[in-house]
Chain A
Amino acid sequence: MNIVVLIKQTFDTEAKIAIKEGKIVADGVTQIINPYDEFALEEALRIKEKSGGDVLVVSAGGEKVKEALRSALAMGADRALLVETEGAAVDEGIVASALAKAISGLSYNLVLSGWKAIDDNSAQVGGRVAETLGLPQVNVVTQLTIEDGKALAVREVEGGTETVEVPLPALITAQRGLNEPRYPNMRGIMQAKKKELKVVTLSELGVSGAPQVAVKNVVLPPAKQAGKLFRDDVATSVAQLVQALRNEAKVI
């Protein structure tokens, strides 16, 4: 089984957001692998441990993204590929086209990604990559079984789950619940340094084009007004709360 995992480097979940001239400031912010992509990578490693094969991690971004790729190698991925986009104006369509182009010539049975990136909240790149590569997809997956050239995947839908079967090669996007990602150990970190990390540029891939979506501005959400705290005895506090919900907020 050859597995490709798409990972994005994102802000740490605790990161505070600063905005300058309508843009998010990334300087000095701790970066991590997008949490959903860790589930994807962990799943790839487990499949490999069971049935052998090769795990390639691919990420599009700037030089700094090598850190995320090294972490993925330390977790156990075999090889890494950076699609260098430093300075280029990209959107989900361009990133997906570049990622798809970068892996299109390789032999793979399965592509795994996260279902969404927690920074841009787009939930697009997985589906766009699958479309470009002409692969069937199963999205927001919490359980995956690979057998007889097929993927049997349980995906989350409103109020329940669906179990979907697709032939390989296919693209699966990972949701929390799929597994518990491992932490890299010392040995993994040492080995990661010796593993292959290739770089390919957008122009080498022949991917160009202007973004289709223009972000005009980024703002902080309006600050919330201080709320009302009830701290009397239980009966009084509850009565005040019920009164407020009914007559002031008018939501009950």
Chain B
Amino acid sequence: MAKVWVVVEAKEGQIKKVTYEMIGLASQLGEVEAVVVGSGVKDLAPGLGAYGVGKVYVVDQPELAEYTTARYTRVLAELIGQEQPAKVLIANTAQGRDFAPRVAQRLGLGQISDVTGYEQGQFVRPIYSGKALAQAEAVAAQAIITVRPNVFNAVSAGAGTAEVVERTVALQPNDLLEVVREVAKQVSVRPELTEANIICSGGRGLKEPANFKLIEDLADVLGAAVGASRAAVDAGWRHHSFQVGQTGKTVSPQVYFAIGISGAIQHLAGMGSSKVIVAINKDPEANIFKVADYGIVGDLFEVVPVLTEELRKALA
């Protein structure tokens, strides 16, 4: 059976959920192996066996403590060159989408980006901002696939340990040109937009920045992330890193609350693949109701506080 690699993504010693989602997809494609890259990451490897991974390649070197494009590209390209897996699955995250195309180009491989489905041997990926779906396949046996987080079902743990193979990769002088000067974390207790199960987004209907408090209160009751429309971002109510849409983040949570958002096509581009969409808008003709699974036609200033209270009670 073809070997299919999953490049493990971990943060602060924790394997990210998208890794387990990729293992789920990989198991449909062949024999699952994994790659762990970093510094002090060796301990993450054996446990992957419980998720159905037979073998884990570990490259654990001090120079890999921080993510840099050139170093990760070197490591991955070298390992893929040595072991010749058929498919290499990489998370479509800030990290994964950064090194994946470089590895592909170095090895002369095709890459299918931002995959959200696998049906009858074809990888499905949204194009034209989700207005169409392409069904694609790799021409050569070997290819890189980047996988959208939060879409595939994560595999759950069973029993078993993986065989761990340690490797060292010699970095070249050119790999050390990048210097990470600063890593700034947003001080937020809320989940990251692209990883959140629930997102509460606000738009121009909020009228002024202070009213974002309504969205935040609702989000906190649900353990949700906060998002915004471009109108809210352009008005300066929210930093652009909160923007959902064509020129913002692409998200696919279990539930997306669009509050005071009209549902412009560029906004739908970023959240159309959410599993359940809830809209709250006073205009019954608002475009957002065309894609919403549930909607309340009403004044958000009246609806949202009551909804927050009801959910607080329901979830208590």
Binding site for B on A (CB under 8 A): 11, 13-17, 19, 24, 35-36, 91-93, 96-97, 118-128, 130-132, 134, 136-140, 142, 152, 155-167, 176-177, 210-221, 224, 227-231, 234-235, 237-239, 241-242, 244-246, 249, 251-252
Contact = CB atoms under 8 A, between A and B. Distances in A.
Contact of A212 (B131, B133, B143, B222): B143
Contacts of A155: 94
B275 interface: yes
28 contacts: A24-B127, A92-B101, A93-B105, A124-B113, A127-B105, A128-B102, A134-B174, A137-B69, A137-B98, A139-B94, A158-B93, A160-B183, A165-B179, A166-B179, A176-B240, A176-B247, A210-B139, A212-B139, A213-B110, A215-B136, A224-B293, A227-B292, A234-B302, A237-B303, A238-B303, A241-B294, A245-B276, A251-B198
Contact of A228 (B291, B294, B303): B294
B296 A219 contact: no
A251 B181 contact: no
Contacts of A252: 198, 222, 255, 311, 314-315
B294 A131 contact: no
Contacts of A245: 255, 276, 278, 294
B278 A162 contact: no
Nearest to B126: A121
A160 B315 CA distance: 30
Given A121-B126, A241-B296, A127 B101 contact: yes
Interface of B: 11, 68-70, 73, 92-95, 97-102, 104-106, 108-114, 122, 125-140, 143, 174, 177-186, 188, 192, 194-195, 198, 222, 240-241, 243, 246-248, 254-255, 265-266, 269, 272, 275-278, 284, 289-298, 302-303, 306-307, 310-311, 314-315
Contact of A164 (B129, B180, B266): B180
Contact of B105 (A14, A17, A132): A132
A203 to B, nearest CB: 20
Given A212-B143, A227-B289, 16 more contacts: A24-B127, A24-B128, A91-B110, A119-B127, A121-B125, A121-B128, A124-B101, A131-B106, A139-B97, A156-B241, A163-B184, A164-B68, A214-B139, A231-B297, A237-B296, A252-B255
A121 B252 CA distance: 16
A118 B129 contact: yes
Contacts of B293: 224, 227-228, 249
A131 B105 contact: yes
A127 B139 contact: no
Contacts of A128: 101-102, 104-105
Contacts of B11: 158
B130 A221 contact: yes
A142 B247 CA distance: 12
Nearest to A18: B132
A127 B269 CA distance: 24
Contacts of B297: 229-231, 237
A163 B276 CA distance: 36
